[in-house]
Amino acid sequence: MKDALEFATNWRRVFMEMYTQLKWLNAYAVINELAMQKIVKKSMKEHFDLKDNVIDKNLTAFIKSKEFAKR
C-alpha cells in the first residue's frame, strides 16, 4: 500500500511527465511552423513570378501570428 501511495503522490514524477509532454508539444509546434513555411514558399514559387511580393509577406505574417508559432 505504501508503494502505491508513494507512486501516486510523487510530484517529481508527475512534473517530469508534464515537462516531457510539453517538450513533445513544442516540437510538434516547431514542425508545424516549418511545414507551413515550406508550403507557402513552394506555393509562392509555383504561382507567383515576383520574388518579393505583398502576398508572400502577408502569408508569412499570418503564419507567425498563429498559436503554434507563439511558443
Q: Is the pLDDT reported for residue 23 higher than 90?
A: yes
pLDDT of 2 above 70: no
Query: Is pLDDT of 44 > 90?
Result: no
55 vs 30, higher pLDDT: 30
Q: Is this model's pTM higher than 0.95 or not?
A: no
Structural domains of the chain, count: 1
Averaged pLDDT of the chain: 79
User: How many angstroms separate the CA atoms of 9 and 3, rounded?
Assistant: 10
Q: Which domain holds residue 31?
A: 2-69
Q: Are 34 and 4 in contact (CB under 8 A)?
A: no
